[in-house]
Amino acid sequence: MSTTMNMIKVIKLEDLAIQIGKEVHVKEKSIAIFRLSNGDVRAVSNRCPHKNGPLAEGIVSGEFVFCPLHDWKISLVTGEVQKPDDGCIEVYPTEIRDGYVYLGGL
Partner 1 sequence: MKKKLVMIGNGMAGARCIEEILKRDADMFDITMIGDEPYPNYNRIMLSNVLQGKTTFNEININDWDWYKENHIQLISNERVTEIQREQQQVVTNQGKVIPYDELIIATGSSAFILPVPGNELEGVVGFRTIEDTERMMDAAKQYKKAVVIGGGLLGLEAARGLIDRGMDVHVVHLLPNLMEMQLDREAAKLLQKDLEKQGMKFLMEKKTTEIYGDQRVEGLRFDDGTSVECDLVVMAVGIRPNAAIGREAGLAVGRAIQVNDYMQTSDPQIYAVGECAEHRGIAYGLVAPLYEQGVVLADVLTGKETTGYQGSVLSTQLKVAGCDLFSGGEIHESDDTKAIVVQDQLKGVYKKVLVRDNKVVGVVLYGDASDGTRLFSMLKKEADIQEFTNASVLHKAGEESGIDVASMSANETVCGCNGVTKGTIVGAILEHGLTTFNEVKAVTKAGGSCGKCRGVVEAILAHTLGDKFDASAEVTGMCSCTTLSRDEVVEAIREKGMHTPKEVRIVLGFKHEEGCSKCRPALNYYLRMLRPDEYEDDKASRFVNERMDGNIQKDGTFSVVPRMYGGTTTPEDLIRIGEVAKKYNVPLVKITGAARVGLFGVKKEDLPKVWAELEMRSGYAYSKSLRNVKTCVGSQFCRFGTQDSLGLGIRLEQEIEMVDTPHKMKMGVTGCPRNCAEVLTKDFGVVCVENGYQLYFGGNGGTEVRECDSLTTVATEDEVVQMAKAYVQLYRETGIYGERTAPWVDRVGVDKVRMVLENQDQVEKLAARFELARDTYREAWSVTLEDEQRRNMYTIEQR
From the list 34, 32, 36, 29, the residue with the least C-alpha distance to 54 is 32
> How many whole angstroms separate alpha carbon 44 and alpha carbon 66?
13
Instruction: Rule CB under 8 A: say whether 86 interacts with partner 1.
Output: yes
Question: For residues 36 and 91, which CB has a smaller minimum distance to partner 1 in the complex?
Answer: 36
Alpha-carbon gap, residue 16 to 4, rounded angstroms? 26
Is there binding between residue 77 and partner 1 (CB under 8 A)?
A: no
Binding interface with partner 1 (CB under 8 A)? 8-11, 15, 17-20, 22-27, 37, 51-54, 57-62, 66, 68-69, 71, 73, 83-84, 86
